[in-house]
Homo-oligomer: A and B are copies of this chain.
């Protein structure tokens, strides 16, 4: 099902890809330590992607670190009309993203997507959660 039946005057076209093509954030930090049962309580940084369009979106991610050159591009595909909650720890090609290290990311997509960050930190023996919006560049 696409946008049919819910379009409002001045609103997005049915099947339109909503959002932006370039996003960037600086506050990445994925702890290596966790407590509690896996995988739901595993400390993580999750890149939450939504592709509302009728075509798959191809993304390229560059990772920036505090004391070394950037690494990438990592490639991620978000299927048409789906969300994808991508754990940063699962990005391993061309190189696993470093844990316990400050990082930033530049995301470039061939089609507009919506990108948000979800943080879960269970190091302290319980759950701490946070959300963050990356900066849209276009």
Contact = CB atoms under 8 A, between A and B. Distances in A.
Main secondary structure of the interface of A (DSSP, over half): strand
B124 A11 contact: no
Contacts of A91: none
Contacts of A36: 124
A27 B128 contact: no
B6 A24 contact: no
Interface in A38-71: 40-41, 46, 48-50, 52, 60, 62, 64-67, 69-71
A85 B122 CA distance: 21
Interface in A55-109: 60, 62, 64-67, 69-73, 81-85, 102-104, 106, 108-109
A125 B128 contact: no
A124 B50 contact: no
Contact of A114 (B25, B123, B138): B25
30 contacts: A1-B70, A3-B106, A5-B73, A8-B21, A8-B22, A12-B106, A12-B108, A18-B106, A18-B137, A19-B24, A19-B135, A25-B50, A25-B116, A26-B49, A26-B113, A27-B46, A27-B48, A28-B48, A52-B64, A65-B82, A66-B83, A70-B81, A83-B103, A104-B114, A114-B135, A117-B131, A119-B129, A129-B130, A131-B131, A132-B132
